[in-house]
Chain A
């Protein structure tokens, strides 16, 4: 590691020892601000007492002050297991739908011949930037009229719509690095368009497609407002269950769920970063 040379030449405050330390210190505080709130949840979820803070026993590392009771509680609780089942059903279905449609659309959008490309891209990305309260309100009216409110199908369609921009963005970015000559070479040797896509293009852009799918799944897995407006008791997902937990009676069981979700997030993050790196090679 050539740390010394790089930092001294690039920092505008080079040679001013005090400012360099101040700069690093400031950045360290910001990094702590980003990560510490998430980390603090992990030890607190092992609290033996129903409090949201460290008890004296925990600080003394007293074994009795630490326990798995909240984890036991969420595993045994039927509401949480039903919420998990709902989250998985809705998330996976929405992801499959969003990934298939989004990948197709990205193929079209990446083609320079696509008419009105900018406008089409704008429309397709809009679900990502529209305030979720507006999407949820609009969907509530519209899906109620169609009889799709308070059904799993309605939530799957809604989450798929909200998830497609992630797939479109990721796959389009991957396609920008795809060499069209490969498709042409395959076609010149007699492969039909479908074979070219399936045997040549898809395997090469697969990392982008999978990343997009993970983004779409994570979006659905974390979505609460649409579920709040459109879902009934039968459609309660994990975020919805957490929402009631936070609003009504806040119990450390939520912290145990949060730890699960943090583990999920880290797994998603590492997978996507790994795929990105694979794709860059």
Chain B
């Protein structure tokens, strides 16, 4: 138990990443083929990876691809009202369509009612222009009593919306099998009647703000983790081995502890009748009626997220720092550098790979955070992931959830590629 193994691993590769890369350990293994290999070594390696690639492809990547398809593809309306939509495409979008369109739609609405798909159609058209759900349901209910035309008069009599141009435009838009509508929605945009992209009315803009908030919170948590994680990692990296191991355990305990347990802990500590408020009241810092609201708001999200993500900052930093020879800073100081100079010009530059690795990892994890904000965020501490969950579970607007997920996925994928370029995914280390 003389020295922590990571220190040894790190020292052999000074200044680089958070661990040794695979495969490069014995460079001679390429040049010297095994005696009597039955396969080409390339094929042999690929065959070993293949089962997992197929497994992850089917159980994980295919679902993601499926979700992305869902964000741009929705055939429900197009399948239920094919002829109406055909005829509507010939309509110039001004005034009202002619009687034949009304007649076709009346027939297809009744058919959709029989197939029990009318509800889904109504929901989708309603998402393009709210208020139209009742136009469909009421029309379907009352049309059965209408035997003959003119259908335009009959339908407009049942629901005034059929006499408005916007209704038909909305129906035509909802009938597109492939649409960018959900992505536009997810960015608070929409198409105006002329087909140009414009912002939603101010009172309906929510997602850009939420994306912005998610970005700010992630940046803030990353900065805070770096600020408090850096000194701690440095302390551990240069402590005597036995103490370093003990301190490392203190970082690893939260790393391993269930996320739900840690979130529960913060509720216990921070809530109105919680431990921290009780202590402050007992010490007389605040009055019993002046208890601080530290949870179920942004404070709760921020504190709990920092707690959860701090180990992901400390561990890569520690890994890099423990590879920096201690004599360097003392050499700098013996040559006349002030402690600050020796830190800033000798030590800090060498820790940059760790700073980069830790910050990127924390930021990637923070930007997609869901559980903690959902449990302790209240209404002001919700992030973009929580909005995805809302559309998945409550509003059931799955296409919009998929589009929001697509946007988040693109952000994370970009950061992931950046991480691979700067740090190397294969150097990622756990614990």
Contacts and interface: CB of A to CB of B under 8 A. Distances in A.
A10 B326 contact: yes
Interface string A12-32: 111010000001101100110
Nearest to A134: B405
Interface in B231-270: 231-232, 235, 238-240, 242-243, 247, 249-269
A40 B265 contact: yes
B275 A137 contact: no
A112 B60 contact: no
A206 interface: no
B300 to A, nearest CB: 12
A187 interface: yes
A35 B326 contact: no
Contacts, number: 363
Given A37-B307, A131-B385, A52 B267 contact: yes
Contact of A105 (B25, B53, B268, B412): B53
A195 to B, nearest CB: 13
Nearest to A35: B250
B55 A101 contact: yes
Contacts of B412: 129-131, 134
A13 B19 CA distance: 29
A110 B23 contact: yes
Given A31-B232, A130-B368, A242 B264 contact: yes
Contact of B259 (A9, A141, A222, A276): A222
Contacts of A225: 370-371
A228 B239 CA distance: 43
Given A31-B247, A112-B23, A276-B5, A168 B253 contact: no
Interface stretch (B30-38, B88-96, B180-188, B351-359): B30-38
Interface string B382-425: 00010011001100001001100100110010001100100001
Contacts of A6: 238-240, 326
B150 interface: no
Interface in A166-209: 166, 168-170, 172-173, 175-181, 183-184, 187-188, 193
B329 A12 contact: yes
A31 B243 CA distance: 13
Interface residues on A, range: 35 or more
B307 A161 contact: no
Contacts of B235: 23-24, 27
Contacts of A30: 228-229, 231-232, 310
A40 B276 CA distance: 11
B273 A52 contact: yes
Nearest to A34: B254
A107 B273 contact: no
Interface in A96-133: 97, 101-102, 104-115, 117-118, 120-127, 129-133
Secondary structure type dominating chain A contacts: helix
Contacts of B330: 9-10
B81 interface: no
Given A41-B261, A123-B56, A142 B49 contact: no
Interface residues of B, number: 121
- Most B-side CB within 10 Å, residue of A27, A106, A107: A27
A3 B428 CA distance: 31
B96 to A, nearest CB: 38
B14 interface: no
Given A52-B267, A127-B60, A110 B5 contact: no
A160 interface: yes
A124 to B, nearest CB: 6
B249 A269 contact: yes
A224 B260 contact: yes
A177 B12 CA distance: 12
Contacts of A24: 235
Contacts of A135: 60, 63-64
A176 to B, nearest CB: 5
Contacts of B408: 131, 134
Given A133-B370, A239-B258, A176 B23 contact: yes
B283 interface: no
Nearest to B48: A108
B66 interface: yes
A156 B347 CA distance: 46
A16 B252 contact: no
Interface stretch (A69-77, A78-86, A254-262): A254-262
B364 interface: yes
Interface of B: 1, 5, 8-9, 19-30, 32, 34-35, 38, 41-42, 44-53, 55-56, 59-64, 66-67, 70, 228-229, 231-232, 235, 238-240, 242-243, 247, 249-269, 271, 273-275, 278, 307, 310-311, 326, 329-330, 333, 339-340, 342-343, 347, 364-365, 367-371, 375, 385, 388-389, 392-393, 398, 401-402, 405, 408-409, 412, 416-417, 420, 425-426, 428-431
18 contacts: A35-B253, A40-B268, A97-B55, A111-B29, A114-B46, A118-B420, A122-B420, A122-B425, A125-B428, A133-B389, A134-B409, A137-B388, A138-B64, A138-B66, A175-B22, A188-B35, A246-B264, A269-B249
Given A111-B29, A173-B22, 8 more contacts: A53-B273, A123-B56, A125-B428, A127-B60, A180-B28, A180-B29, A268-B256, A269-B249
Top 3 A-B residue pairs of the complex, sorted by shortest distance between their CB atoms: A131-B368, A108-B48, A280-B5
